[in-house]
Amino acid sequence: MIKIVFFAALREQLDCAELSLNAEDMETVGDVKQRLSDKNSQWQQMFSKSSLLSAVNHDMVDDSHLVKSGDEVAFFPPVTGG
């Protein structure tokens, strides 16, 4: 399984903080986004945003990054701390 977590505005818009997906048929972060987009049109819209950031096991990555069972994949909007 792959643990997926969402933060900030994205978490509120999806009304979901975390979920788990079977790692089967998913090789990259891009595949994870595609699987999440399949849920419905709202999710599709959220995961097609070019500004959306992704992290795997607490490191920022791009869509081509490989994922495997046991990974924690995070999606969130551009950061605004400080």
Partner 1 sequence: MSNANKYACQEISIQAEDFSLADEVALLEKDNLTDGAVVTFTGRVRNNNNGHSVTSLTLEHYPGMTEKSLAKIIKQAKEQWQIGRVKVIHRIGELFIGEQIVFVGVTSKHRQDAYAANEFIMDYLKVKAPFWKKERITDSGETSENWLDAKDSDTDKADLWS
Contact residues: partner 1, CB under 8 A: 5, 7-9, 12, 51, 55, 58-60, 74, 76-82
Q: What is the smallest separation between the CB atom of 7 and partner 1, expressed in angstroms?
A: 6
Work out the burial of residue 82: count CB atoms within 10 Å of its CB; fewer than 13 is exposed, 13-18 middle, 19 or more buried: exposed
Q: What is the DSSP letter of 39?
A: S
Q: Which two tokens stand for residue 9?
A: 């505005």
Nearer to partner 1, 12 or 38 (CB): 12
Nearest to 64 by CA among 75, 76, 54, 51: 54
Q: What is the smallest separation between the CB atom of 24 and partner 1, expressed in angstroms?
A: 26
Q: What is the smallest separation between the CB atom of 21 and partner 1, expressed in angstroms?
A: 19
